[in-house]
Structure 1
Amino acid sequence: MGDSAGQQTVKQQRADARAKKVERYQQERRAQQRRRKIAIVSGSIGGAAVLALIVTFIATAAEPAQRPQDIAIEGLQEFTNLPATHVGPAPVDYEAEYDMKPPAGGNHFQAWLNCGIYSEPQPNENAVHSLEHGAIWVTYNPDTVTDEQLDELRSAVPDQYAIVSPFPGLETPIAVSAWGAQITMDSPSDARLGQFIDRYWKSASAPEPGASCSGAYEGAGRVV
């Protein structure tokens, strides 16, 4: 009983720590959105109106952040009871075995993919191992996503525990995956991108949240 209670305490501590990180991330994102709105509005209305707008934004800034697990995301696809066994060197056919493309979990190689931004496609089996550690994987079709959209996509993800890479043949312009969860979208300006990051980035629902996302397999075309 003592060991079980201790494990539960550690798990709760990790969950609490992640909740605080996500809350800070949400606050920073809301602050950035407020600054952008103020800059846009201030160019077209008088000083008194701008001041009133700023006061309104400050008043709403104190609103408590929504719990990550309570964030509802339209079009979210979830995958349950995924295995997490180390396999290889033969590749895993995720589409045939799990009906996932790109993969969002399942058996994978022993080495995880170092998190970062890549200009070249990455091995599914290494990227899935990173998802096991709580990373998110943003994939895009290089034939349909423009350079401007790619810049926006890269700037939208956290600088840790996130992977961005092209995925040739992707049926939609963009797919965003975490362990056991995935959404697709046409544009990086889709509000669901931020919602997905808020809910699944370094999520306690991953099998090994907080495990390293560096120091393992370095894929080709690493940009950042």
Structure 2
Amino acid sequence: MRAIAWCAQHPAPSILYPLETSVTNDENLTVKQQREKRRAEKVAALKAKQKKEKRGRLIAIVLSATAVVAVLGIVITVVVSNATRPEPQVPLTAAERAAIEIEGEELFPGLDPRHTTDPVQYDVMPPAGGPHNPSWLNCGVYEEEQPVEYAVHSLEHGAVWLAYDPDQISDEQLTELRRLAPDRHAIVSPIAGLESPIIASAWGARVQVDEPGDERIGQFIDKYWLSPAAPEPGALCSNALDGPGRVS
């Protein structure tokens, strides 16, 4: 009984047994197995590196292709824009102007350049000068008729006015006519009931043509655009009146 009581008061200590593990220790591998394991690890690392480099190359190719497309788009835009826009013009010298002969040219010497706010009755349309409004018409392309007295003031500043009858030219011809106009000091606008489909006008001169392909339009622009024959050549043709229907 004493032995039983002593055992109850002094239980046997717990014994901990090691758990089984599936982790393989390199020390338990043979030399061959260790070598094969290291080789497999190197192969896996190399494949991962190659995959990463391939992904990087693909990204670089996509970015390069995108950049090339963007550059080509800019180049094409510039080429097309330049192809449809007249080259910037430089006024000719007096000798060069004098050498240009224009068949059918109408001259109007001694025009009155005074300013007036009253309506003016001009002898021809479009006029080649004469009394005009104190304010000028901003040069540009218009798709509606413009106040004539303001446009004549622009002629005083050396502008060329390409007037056309919308009932006598096609849309294609109008596009071609607009391309002929210089970038500045030029007006393109319709006037119904003209004597001819197109009449180019400048201070003191006009010429009538049937189509924009007539070489006399270019000759007229060369001879009279910013001509010293105008009372105020080179004066502003902007910052004044924007007429109705301005396109550009």
Counterpart of 2:235? 211
CA RMSD of aligned residues (A): 1.7
Identity of aligned residues (%): 55
Matched, 1:93 2:121: yes
Give per-residue Cα distances to partners, 1:54-111, cap 9 Å, x unaligned: xxxxxxxxxxxx70122000000000110011111x310002xxxx221110000000
Counterpart of 2:53? none
Equivalent AA in structure 1 for residue 90 of structure 2: K
- Deviation for aligned residue 1:22: 3.0
Under a length normalisation based on structure 2, what TM-score does the superposition of the two structures give? 0.62
1: CA distance, partners of 2:226 / 2:170: 28
In the alignment, which of 124, 127, 133 is matched to residue 103 of structure 1?
127
Give per-residue Cα distances to partners, 1:17-50, cap 9 Å, x unaligned: xxx92359xxxxxxxxxxxxxxxxxxxxxxxxxx
In the alignment, which of 73, 90, 94 is matched to residue 21 of structure 1?
90
Counterpart of 1:31? none
Q: Any unmatched runs of 5+ in structure 1?
A: 1-19, 25-65
Once the two structures are superposed, the pairs formed by residues 54-65 of structure 1 within 5 Å of their partners are none
Instruction: Confirm or deny: 8 A CA contact 1:114 1:213 kept in the other structure.
Output: yes
2: CA distance, partners of 1:146 / 1:94: 27
Q: Any unmatched runs of 5+ in structure 2?
A: 1-88
Once the two structures are superposed, the pairs formed by residues 104-183 of structure 1 within 5 Å of their partners are 104-183=128-207
Once the two structures are superposed, the pairs formed by residues 5-16 of structure 1 within 5 Å of their partners are none
Counterpart of 2:104? 75
1: CA distance, partners of 2:98 / 2:201: 16
Q: Which has the larger radius of gyration?
A: 2
Return structure 1 stretches of 4+ with deviation > 3 angstroms: none
Give per-residue Cα distances to partners, 1:150-196, cap 9 Å, x unaligned: 00000011110000000011121000000000000000000001000
2: CA distance, partners of 1:85 / 1:196: 25
2: CA distance, partners of 1:23 / 1:92: 32
1: CA distance, partners of 2:92 / 2:196: 30
Aligned residue pairs: how many? 160
Instruction: Confirm or deny: 8 A CA contact 2:107 2:204 kept in the other structure.
Output: yes
Under a length normalisation based on structure 1, what TM-score does the superposition of the two structures give? 0.69
1: CA distance, partners of 2:145 / 2:244: 8
2: CA distance, partners of 1:216 / 1:101: 23
Instruction: Confirm or deny: 8 A CA contact 1:87 1:110 kept in the other structure.
Output: yes
Equivalent AA in structure 2 for residue 93 of structure 1: Q
Q: 3-state SS of the aligned residue for 1:21?
A: coil
Instruction: Confirm or deny: 8 A CA contact 1:22 1:68 kept in the other structure.
Output: no
